[in-house]
Chains A and B, each alone.
Chain A
Amino acid sequence: MPLLFLAIPLIAVVVLNVLYRLVNGRLALWCAAAVAALQTGLGAYALGVCLKTGTAYSDTRIGLLSVDTLSAAALLTIGLVSLVSLLVAFSAEKEQKHNFANIVLLAMAGMNGVALVRDLFTLYIFIEVTSAASFILIGFHRERGELEGAFKYYIQSTVATIAMLTATAFVFLYVGDTSFTGVAYYIRQASMSGGLPYGITIALILYTAGFAVKSGAVPFHAWVPDAYSASSAPVSVLLSGIVTKISGVYVLMRFFRDVFGSAKAVGNILMLLGIVSILVGAFAAIGQKQFKRMLAYSSISQIGYILLGLGTGSTLGFFAALLHFFNHASFKSLLFVDAAAVEQQTGLTDMDKMGGLSDRMPVTGWSSVAAFLSTAGIPPLSGFWSKLFIIIAVWRVSPVLALVALLAGVVTLAYMLVIQKKVFFGKTPPELADVREAGANFKAAEILLTLVNIGVGAAIPFLLNFLLPLL
Chain B
Amino acid sequence: MKKVLEEKPAESPPGPHEVPFTTISGRPIEPLYGPDRLSDFDYARDLGDPGQFPFTRGVHATMYRGKPWTMRQFAGFGTPGETNARFKYLLENGGHGLSVAFDLPTLMGRDPDHPLSLGEVGKCGVAVTSLADMETLFDGIPLDQVSTSMTINSPAAMLLAFYIAVGEKQGVPQERLSGTVQADILKEFIAQKEYIFPPRPSMRIIVDMIRYCTEHMPKWNTISISGYHIREAGSTAAQELAFTLRDGIEYVQWCVEAGMDVDSFAPRLSFFFNSHSDFFEEIAKFRAARRIWARVMRERFGAKNPRSWMCRFHAQTAGVSLTAQQPYNNVVRTALQALAAVLGGTQSLHTNSLDEALALPTQEAATIALRTQQIIAHESGVVNTADPLAGSYFVEKLTSDLEAEALEYFRKIDALGGMVAAVERGFPQREIQEAAFQFQKAVERKEKIIVGVNEYAMEEKPFPILYIDERASEEQIGRLQTLRATRDNERVRQGLARLQQAARGRDNLMYPILDAARAYATLGEMCDALREVWGEYEEPPVF
Mutual binders A and B: no
Taking Cβ atoms with an 8 Å cutoff, the residues of B that contact A are none
Taking Cβ atoms with an 8 Å cutoff, the residues of A that contact B are none
